[in-house]
Amino acid sequence: MSNMKNKKLTTTQLQYNQLVTSIEPKRPILTNCIRAFLIGGLICTIGQFLQWAFITYFNFDEKSSVGPTSLVLIFTAALLTGLGVYDHLAQWAGAGSAVPITGFANSIASASIEHKSEGFVLGVAGNMFQLAGAIIVYGVFSAFVVATIKLIITWLGAM
């Protein structure tokens, strides 16, 4: 794509680009943003409600309620992905369903479901982290960098 910008286009190519631009439907950016905000906010509100329920009814404290809350959200997203519901929600909501932890669970579950015909080892397990692998790699690397910076700052502060 970047090579196309530097390349001189012929008259036919320019006319074709103009035709495509005129026919291409315009994206409803404001509507998409509102949908993403509503669904992302709803998912986060459900997570907050779950955390409150774990604190109130199961005697968790604020820090220890994070794990079960995340677990319920991940399980629900994986279940809804398996039932085919989450994909319809993601089509309608866009990034609002992809950004929370439920989107991460959806990416893992949908890759597993897509490759289940190849077997459990090579299909499901081998492709489970196909999309989410980059997130895990960069998350671990970012945690390493932040921990190293904190260690250096702590070490310099002790001197």
User: For residue 119, what pLDDT is reported?
Assistant: 78
| Residue written as token pair 């026919």 | 23
Nearest CA to 54 out of 40, 30, 73 is that of 73
Q: How confident is the model at residue 6 (pLDDT cuts 50, 70, 90)?
A: low
Assigned token pair, 118: 């190849």
Nearest CA to 93 out of 39, 46, 43, 42 is that of 39
- The phi and psi torsions of 36 (rounded to 5 degrees) equal -60, -40
Task: State the Cα angle at 87 between 83 and 93, rounded to 5°.
Answer: 135
| Residue written as token pair 């089509």 | 91
Q: What span, in angstroms and rounded, lies between the C-alpha atoms of 67 and 102?
A: 14
Q: What span, in angstroms and rounded, lies between the C-alpha atoms of 115 and 118?
A: 6
User: For residue 135, what pLDDT is reported?
Assistant: 76
Q: What span, in angstroms and rounded, lies between the C-alpha atoms of 52 and 61?
A: 10
User: For residue 115, what pLDDT is reported?
Assistant: 76
For 77-132, the pLDDT digits (tens) are 999 999 999 999 999 999 899 888 898 888 888 878 877 777 777 777 777 777 67
Question: Which tops the pLDDT comparison, 33 or 138?
Answer: 33
DSSP annotation of 27: P
Question: Which tops the pLDDT comparison, 33 or 99?
Answer: 33
Instruction: Judge contact between 47 and 65, C-beta under 8 A.
Output: no
Q: At what angle do helices 66-82 and 85-93 cross, to 10 degrees?
A: 100
159 CB-near residues (< 8 Å, 6+ apart): none
User: For residue 147, what pLDDT is reported?
Assistant: 96
- The overall average pLDDT reported for the chain is 88
Instruction: Judge contact between 88 and 95, C-beta under 8 A.
Output: no
